[in-house]
Copies of this chain bind each other. A is one copy, B any other.
Amino acid sequence: MADRPYPHGNLRAALLEQAERTLREQGLDQLSLRELARQAGVSHGAPRRHFADRQALLDALAEAGFARLGAELREAVDAAGSDYEARLRATAAAYVRFAVHDAALLELMFAGKHREQQCGALHDAADRAFAVILDLIEQGQAGGMLERGDPERVGLLLFATMQGIAALVSAGLVDTDLVDGLVADAIGQFLHGPRALA
């Protein structure tokens, strides 16, 4: 209740930031435009100037989520050593970390219900996150660590596997202490095929 970090002119950013925090700490159900306005110290009609309706805010959150996911994946790759399997593993681990830390946000990012309008921006943000994986695939193929093949197809498969593991974890269908093993299995299978699991 001290000074507002956004005295003015930044209402849109303030709403998004607080919304992301609420989403993380209390879930989508508790995310209300009126409460966000209250926390920002403006009237309940004010957010309308920046977001046409609640869904527009959710779309913007999802877009920002993909941007941040892409950045975190990129960081993980860059921080990993030169060993290719370690780079893959670090990427997958970063993905799962994001999924655990921002489960509700990830749900929102993959929620089917998105506006046609924002859908373009959302799709672009998702593509930029996917580009990290794509780069990794091309790098692996160039270095001979991965078989040749359409990088997009191979990358989509890796992307899907990571998202699937994230979903199982977020849903609580797999115990958290099994996650690391599952990620390792996924990367091993991806690189070396079924015999990696034997």
**How far, in Å, is A25 (CB) from chain B's closest CB?**
13
Q: How far apart are the CA atoms of A191 and B189 in the complex, in Å?
A: 10
Instruction: Bin chain A's interface residue count.
Output: 35 or more
- Measured between beta carbons, the chain B residues less than 8 angstroms from A170 are 110, 112
**How far, in Å, is A101 (CB) from chain B's closest CB?**
12
Does the CB pair A168–B163 fall under 8 Å?
A: yes
Does the CB pair A112–B119 fall under 8 Å?
A: no
Q: How far apart are the CA atoms of A163 and B164 in the complex, in Å?
A: 5
Q: How far apart are the CA atoms of A186 and B163 in the complex, in Å?
A: 14
A-B contact pairs, 22 of them (CB 8 A): A107-B110, A109-B171, A110-B173, A111-B171, A112-B172, A114-B172, A123-B173, A126-B173, A147-B195, A147-B198, A153-B181, A153-B197, A156-B174, A156-B178, A156-B182, A157-B182, A160-B167, A160-B186, A161-B161, A161-B164, A163-B168, A164-B165
